[in-house]
Amino acid sequence: MAMNIKSQSPLSNPPSLAGLVLLVALLSDAVLSLHGVVPDETSLFPSIVHFLASLSAEGLHTGTALVAFAGGIMLTVSLILLPMQRTYRARELQLLHERERLEASNAKLARQAAHDGLLGIANRREFERVLKLEWQRAARERQPLSLLMIDIDCFKCFNDNYGHQKGDTCLREVASVLKAAAARPGDLVARYGGEEMVVLMPHTDLEGANRMAERIHFMLTERAIPFPDSPVAGHVTVSIGVSAMLPVRNAKQSTLVKQADEGLYMAKEAGRNQTACVAPLRLISLKDHVPVWTGQAQRA
């Protein structure tokens, strides 16, 4: 990424070499004309010559010494300091390019650390980081936050029957469906562990979360990933637990995950390939445990 960094060096804007040469030529011409080496009529700067001639002999001697001293300083600047400044600028640019390269490498490493290499979605560490941020934002804005906990039905059977390579392909296919379903910029699809995945949806209530779950069921049916040995259907299916909360005082983000996990357990116990959630009342109060079923899937 390009960065605009201004050098703090006092040599960042040095006088031009042409200007220094011109000044040295002016002073040298005046001194030579004053001593008769250059006739007055051919002098480049006769006015300066006449000014110096009007000075006393002692002042003229002092002025000549000052001119020589100034000329030496200018030559020093031209021959030593300017090359040093150019070297400094080249080194500064080299360090700037190195810094940009390191920042790009760090950004790449950060992306790799936040994503699951197999599925191309966020990993659990990234999910927990984003969940914390979205929970805080939902509390500030008083907006609901929803979570889908998704498990591939009978995935162990799939792996045992078709091998781990086919199992990896199946995981990638399901992850692709989830990414296509949760296409809003704020939604996050992540691998929670093994064959479990999650979809975090800011600004989404329980009804919206259930619609998303049904959409996932429908898209997986359309994708029809073959699974002839499945006890549920002839293709890969998922069970989904849904939770939604409006963060309030004393509420914890871990409750959102726990609610979704309990819904997932309920969906699997009821026969898989369906969506379940806990009662909306429990999203505010944890005193009662009243399960509520939503949209039991009927799949071919």
Catalytic residues: 195
Cα angle, residue 55 at apex, residues 53 and 60 outer, rounded to 5°: 85
3 state SS of 292: strand
Distance CA 184, CA 130 (A): 15
Tokens of 213: 């779950």
Pair 183, 294: CB distance under 8 Å? no
> Quick one: which of 95, 71, 76 has its CA closest to 9?
95
β-pairing, 238-245 with 275-278?
parallel
Contacts of 124 (CB under 8 A, 6+ apart): 190, 191, 192, 193
**Exposure class string for 73-91: b at 16+ Cβ within 10 A, else e:** ebeebeeeebeebeeeeee
Phi-psi region of 154 (alpha: psi -120 to 50; beta: other; left: phi over 0): left
